[in-house]
Amino acid sequence: MSKIEGNIVGYSDRELAKTHKQLQPATDRQSVLIRQDFETLTTQGYVIIEDLLTPEQCDEIKNSCLPLMSHTGRNNFEGEKTQRLYNVLAKTRCIDNLADHPRILGLMDLLFKPNFLLSQSQVINILPGEKQQALHFDDGFYQIPRPRPPLGAASIWAIDDFTKENGATHVVPQSQNWDGQQRPTDHQSIQAVMPAGSVIFFLGTTWHGGGANQTQSSRLAVTHQYCEAFLRQQENFLLELNKETVKSLSPELRALVGYSIHPPFMGMVNGQHPLRTLDE
């Protein structure tokens, strides 16, 4: 036991958070479909799931997000002809249900330890004339040698149709198993062609990259990245989101951005569960 600011912090889930317990996987996050998706994910390094959003939901995201997007990327990796919206959760609620979608969190329940976190959220609009992004894997900034289990995972939601011509994401099947010396070539990748309303979910160790947009129309996507609970998030949600915004989030999303405890006490505030700060 350790004593912090007059509050006893224990080393068991029961002692830690009697008021705010860990979120448990809901029944809609446990299904045969999710287990089938998980088998594909762990075998191929990615899985594509179609028909999760309606056309009306895609239109709502477009109407909410596109007016917030103006600047293009600062370098080749961001994309000099690609618009990126950062700090999305502070600006709109329209993509919340993508971050905590049951089909995605169901995969995360099987992939990572409980209390996993949202690492970052972005809206990405690839404009006409954009070049192909360099192939990369997302959790490479956690400098632990490969081969290794993934430390992160990501979803990319197609708000527009993803086609070979407009920049559908390139992904390298089974590259999640590679060591640190292997590098992909273009002919090893395939494109995640999928209709609007679909999502591709891939491991943080899977090589991938945005495609080139050779059309006259933009291609809109939403991406959420996740990480193990004991790792630092890419996005500092605790500074970006004020308490009133956090109160408006679902319980799952509050936990994902960092209002949660990873046992025994990682994430505490003054020796207590961070959700208690919302009551102050």
pLDDT in tens, the chain (280 residues): 233 333 333 334 444 344 344 555 566 677 899 999 999 999 999 999 999 999 999 999 999 999 999 999 999 899 999 999 999 999 999 999 999 999 999 999 999 999 999 999 999 999 999 999 999 999 999 999 999 999 999 999 999 999 999 999 999 999 999 999 999 987 999 999 999 999 999 999 999 999 999 999 999 999 999 999 999 999 999 999 999 999 999 999 999 999 999 999 999 999 999 999 998 7
Q: What pLDDT is recorded for position 186? A: 79
Name every residue whose Cβ is closer than 8 Å to that of residue 275 and which is 6 or more positions away in sequence.
19, 20, 254, 259, 260
Name the residue among 201, 212, 211, 210 with its Cα closest to residue 176: 201
Retrieve residue 136's tokens: 């990369």
Domain 24-260 sits in CATH at 2.60.120.620
Sign, CA torsion 40/255/21/274:
positive
Q: What pLDDT is recorded for position 28? A: 63
Q: What pLDDT is recorded for position 30? A: 73
Q: What pLDDT is recorded for position 121? A: 98
Q: What pLDDT is recorded for position 159? A: 98
Q: What pLDDT is recorded for position 5? A: 32
What residue ranges do the domains of the chain occupy?
1-22+263-280, 24-260
Which residues make beta-bridge pairs with 171? 190, 208
> What beta strand segments (E) does 127-228 contain?
152-158, 170-171, 190-191, 199-203, 208-209, 219-227
